[in-house]
Amino acid sequence: MDIFISYKREDLARVQPLVTALRGAGLGVWWDQDIAPDAPWEATIERELSASKVAIVAWSTAAVTSENVRAEAREARDAGKLIQVFVERCKPPLFFGERQAVDLSNWDGDTGDQRFFPIILAVKGIGGIDIEWPAATPMPLSSSPPTGEVVKGDPSAASAFADRGRSRLEEQEYDEALTDFDEAIRRDSAIAEELQSSVVEAFTNRGRHHLDNWEYSDALDDFGEAIRLDPDAAEELKPDVVAAYVGRGRERLGDDDLDEAFEDFDEALRLDPNVVQELKEEIADAFGNRVRVRLEECDYTGAIDAFQDAVVRDPDLAEPLKSEILQAITAALEC
């Protein structure tokens, strides 16, 4: 697959013309409208994003606040295959504003429009995709979001934002500090290296603040950004990251999102195998509940499958679930 499209569902009508235009140019395009009804949603998206040569993220006010869109954008950025477009005039998330983008906020899908040409050029350049396209006068990708307020190449203004960001960091105003650091880098990218340690500190501290307030997904986002910017921070942050995965896993258990809960627990166990004892009873209860729910629904095959999953994960679960699984086997045989 050539291109993965990341967007917020509310923007489907805005993104559809881009999908149509890219496919009309002979490119293979995948977006979530291509997911089969019986396919696992998250696993399919992860697979297609990983397999794509290029990922186009369509920013809008809704997309900027979407955890899923931001996560897909980060993965594409880290893989060096990110192309950004704006389907609505807005300010992108932190540390995406300094990257080039195409303003499609009032584009009607006309492939003869000069704004479409730089997308084709970027797809060819980033993805290494050989595609012929009619000659056109290229319009360069914009270096900043289509809001009109950013002045590039302004070291004095960048320094002022950087200084204010550091002051706000000392005052534990992490959101405001990160906004200032982002603005400083957008105005003068040369300042990014100088600010790296401050940015990492801000993400780390904000992540811990989220963790203390049980905002586990936000905490994981911030810890992930800190580690991306400074891989050496991974060891120091490991206990915080493990705590965030465990906390979110427990929340998901409470919401009966067992598959997602186990994904979080597995990630916590991967980082710290010693946490298994802390989670053992909760995992046993979760699997027991899954088996019992399947039985209540008269889904005896599902109950047996859930029991097998439980035993594969922890053989000690076989004994406490024995009566339930015998009931399921008996019922299944009677059917």
What pLDDT digit, counting tens, does each position of 238-267 carry? 999 999 999 999 898 888 777 788 889 888
Neighbours of 311 (CB within 10 A): 16
Neighbours of 272 (CB within 10 A): 17
**CA 135 to CA 230: how far, in whole Å?**
43
pLDDT over 70 at 54, yes or no: yes
**Order of strands across the sheet with 29-30?**
29-30, 3-6, 54-59, 82-86, 101-103
**How much is the pLDDT for 73?**
92
Assigned fold of 3-127: Rossmann fold (3.40.50)
CA angle 181, 169, 219 (to 5 degrees): 85
More confident residue, 78 or 98: 78
CB of 238 within 8 A of CB of 272? yes
How far does CA 241 lie from the centroid of its chain?
A: 16
**CA 146 to CA 163: how far, in whole Å?**
26
**CA 219 to CA 203: how far, in whole Å?**
9
Task: Identify any residues that bridge with 117 across adjacent strands, giving them in sequence order.
Answer: none
**How much is the pLDDT for 228?**
85
CA angle 280, 286, 287 (to 5 degrees): 90
- How confident is the model over 21-44, as a mean pLDDT? 86
- How confident is the model over 316-327, as a mean pLDDT? 71
CB of 6 within 8 A of CB of 29? no
pLDDT over 80 at 313, yes or no: no
Structure tokens at 216: 């586990």
CB of 83 within 8 A of CB of 57? yes
